[in-house]
Chain A
């Protein structure tokens, strides 16, 4: 079985400050990890992914995430938050070994950036 935990329902940050959205995962074997963002009344949009290689992954809109195998974490970060970053963020995982094609999503974290 595979699972994703996003421990914070909501994260509040002031514009210009760094932001972190936390994600931990549980999977047998090696993971593929993803971050998606959802704006109000829209479908999810891909931000970034970790497949293999460098643990620090850079993605769209200035976001990055660090894969930490020992802590089974894949936290999303941005050095300087924008009001337009306010949205719902989902972490997702799948497992490499069995060819399982399905992503398991976390419950989501709402990011609120105050001006």
Chain B
């Protein structure tokens, strides 16, 4: 039982490049989330999904897109990376929404030069 896994763990991009971050969970959770963590700012929600085929915007969605084609996977895409997107990205999943604890992946450290 791997829980929540994220690929890759580290990535360095040049401004304007694109990439996709993959999140996978094996707990059959309905809800999945993408956050970014910046120093002194806690975690901020980028996008989330309440089930396969659904996505919704979070607090800081600009510059990111997501897809949830399979229940176990949640992809985060950066179409044209900017230095402001340098951050640590965390994926999380939960069985339900508001009252359920979220399970977090180990994070992806992204640097945009």
Interface residue ranges, A against B (CB under 8 Å): 4, 9, 32, 34, 36, 41-46, 49, 51, 90, 94, 96, 99-108
Contact = CB atoms under 8 A, between A and B. Distances in A.
B99 A49 contact: yes
Contacts, number: 59
Interface of B: 4, 31, 33, 40-45, 48, 50, 58-59, 90, 92, 97-99, 101-107
Contacts of B103: 46
Contacts of A45: 104
Contacts of B99: 32, 49, 51
A101 B59 CA distance: 12
Nearest to A4: B42
B31 A101 contact: yes
Contact of B107 (A36, A43, A96, A100): A43
